[in-house]
């Protein structure tokens, strides 16, 4: 799980980072609204913690632009204590939850867990790429009518690729999201699993998983099926 923290107060940012890392999240920090928005648009996060008062762009501006770009990542906004106006405005703009400063880390962690749980329950239960269908509720995969048997890890890898269909995902992103191991990006375990997935899915020679040289992989409809 990878979380973006957009917070200009260094003390607060490192307090959040330390706590989340202890809970085995991967954490990126942005120190202003402009950098935060760029990072949120470029990378895939499981949740975003967004301060309201930020240099560059305010948290509200960042949130508005994210939702306008169809980024549905759950966002928890950090508001000043007692500011009902900020809370209402944040929720109206598409925030999923808020927390007033100062807060206890345990409460932040509980809210993040619940946001991530809710958002994965809300996501489409069926994702399709051409005739490849993945059912996230049943954990089953088909090509047309043929069920494809996958191991738990192969399934998770395929789900991650399909949730990000048409987008390039790097080996590092895959290590972070599927293996929860951001420090092992040089290992070839990803390539080994991609090869296994291909042999199970692309049995008739149709290519779904494309290698993007030097970066990672992308899943898309086989040529002619799009
Ligand atoms: Ca601030």
pLDDT tens, position by position, 98-157:
999 999 999 999 999 999 888 877 766 788 999 999 998 788 999 999 999 999 999 999
CA of 23 to the centre of ligand 1 (A): 24
CA of 18 to the centre of ligand 1 (A): 18
Lowest mean pLDDT among 53-62, 124-133, 188-197: 124-133
Integer angstrom CA distances of residue 68 from 14, 119, 124, 193: 29, 18, 20, 35
CA of 101 to the centre of ligand 1 (A): 10
Decide if 219 contacts 129 (C-beta within 8 A): yes
Can you give the pLDDT at residue 124?
Answer: 64
Query: What domains can you pick out in the chain, each with its CATH number?
Result: 2-122 (3.40.50.2300), 126-219 (1.10.10.10)
Query: Percentage of the chain with pLDDT > 70?
Result: 94
On whether the pTM is more than 0.85, the answer is: no
Lowest mean pLDDT among 5-19, 88-102, 175-189: 175-189
CA of 153 to the centre of ligand 1 (A): 40
Token couple for 69: 């770009």
pLDDT above 80 for 182 = no
Mean pLDDT, rounded, of the chain: 90
Can you give the pLDDT at residue 224?
Answer: 60
Token couple for 200: 């199970």
Integer angstrom CA distances of residue 52 from 32, 40, 95, 116, 158: 10, 16, 11, 21, 36
CA of 6 to the centre of ligand 1 (A): 9
């Amino acid at each position: 799980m990878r979380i973006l923290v957009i917070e200009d107060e260094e003390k607060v940012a490192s307090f959040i980072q330390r706590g989340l890392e202890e809970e085995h999240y991967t954490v990126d920090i942005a120190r202003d609204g402009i950098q935060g928005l760029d990072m949120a648009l470029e990378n895939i996060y499981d949740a975003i913690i967004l301060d309201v008062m930020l240099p560059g762009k305010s948290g509200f501006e960042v949130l508005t632009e994210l939702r306008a770009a169809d980024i549905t990542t759950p966002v928890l906004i950090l508001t000043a204590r007692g500011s009902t106006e900020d809370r209402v405005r944040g929720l109206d703009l598409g925030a999923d939850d808020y927390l007033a400063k100062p807060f206890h880390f345990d409460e932040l962690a509980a809210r993040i867990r619940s946001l991530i749980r809710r958002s994965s329950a809300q996501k489409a239960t069926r994702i399709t790429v051409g005739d490849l269908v993945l059912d996230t509720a049943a954990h089953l995969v088909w090509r047309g009518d043929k069920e494809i048997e996958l191991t738990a890890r192969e399934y998770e890898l395929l789900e991650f690729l399909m949730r990000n269909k048409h987008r390039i995902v790097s080996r590092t992103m895959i290590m972070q999201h599927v293996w929860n191991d951001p420090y092992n990006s040089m290992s070839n375990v990803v390539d080994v699993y991609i090869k296994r997935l291909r042999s199970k899915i692309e049995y008739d020679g149709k290519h779904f998983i494309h290698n993007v040289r030097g970066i990672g992989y992308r899943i898309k409809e086989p040529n002619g099926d799009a």
